[in-house]
Amino acid sequence: MRKTCLMKCVLFTLAFAVAWLAAAAAAPLAVGDLAPAFTLKSIDGKIHSLAEYKGKIVVLEWTNQGCPVVQRHYRTGLMPAAQRAAREKGVIWLAVNSTNPGHSNYREPGDLQKIYTDWKAAYTLQLMDADGATGRAYGAKTTPHIFVIDSRGRVAYNGAIDNDPRGDKADRTNYALAAIDALLAGEPIAVTTTQPYGCSVKYK
């Protein structure tokens, strides 16, 4: 009886440890957390990893060319303008495409190259994340969904690109650019987390 109870105690402790670790792993990515590492192929066929941008501010923008909210941001020129403004400040801007190949929104890298060139995209790279592993690691929910990573490799902003979900505000705040400006000035970021808006990421 005593032996069985001892065994149960050990098993319980083990189960508790496993559960605690699992819960920690499943916890949403919070501002201040280390940005999960990734290695992905860009739409021009080259392999890139987050580690190669160590020491720089990096923006991750989840994208899907078939999402009307993404289309609006590119066609109105808002997203390319934000990308240009960020890159002029030395920021790396990575668009990440987690659309699964079985989805009707999926496009091959060559097609994406053409579409985003037509839209005058000014990101540094667009990366393919067809299995969605990187999107899930970050908890990317929508297209667009923005993460700003500071030069120490920590998440500094997580959320919407701006405060204008319907695209009808004359005076909008671009949260990504505001976060970048604060980081470059060494000041606290006023808004660090917002509700992203748009289509759901089309995970596998």
Instruction: Note the residues at the interface with other proteins (CB under 8 A).
Output: 1, 4-5, 8-9, 11-12, 15-16, 19, 22-23, 26-28, 30-32, 66-69, 71-72, 103-105, 136, 141-142, 159, 165-166, 188-201, 203
Nearer to other proteins, 168 or 171 (CB): 168
Residue among 87 and 204 whose Cβ is closer to other proteins:
204
Closest CA to 109 of 132, 92, 126: 126
Count the residues in the chain.
204
φ, ψ of residue 176 in degrees (nearest 5): -65, -45
Pick 28 or 90: Cβ nearer other proteins: 28
- Comparison of 124 and 159: residue with beta carbon closer to other proteins: 159
Positive or negative CA dihedral for 68, 201, 126, 105?
Answer: negative
Return left, alpha or beta for 45; rule: phi > 0 is left, psi -120 to 50 is alpha, else beta. Answer: left
- The residue type found at 10 is V
26 vs 55 by CB, closer to other proteins:
26
Nearest approach in angstroms of CB 37 to other proteins is 20
Sign of CA dihedral 142, 99, 74, 87: positive
With respect to other proteins, which residue has the nearer C-beta, 45 or 188? Answer: 188
DSSP H helices, 76-123, are: 78-88, 109-118
Are 162 and 168 in contact by the 8 Å Cβ rule? The answer is no
Q: At what angle do helices 68-75 and 78-88 cross, to 10 degrees?
A: 60
Residue keyed to tokens 């078939």: 66
Structure-block tokens of residue 165: 């979900």
Beta bridge partners of 126: 95
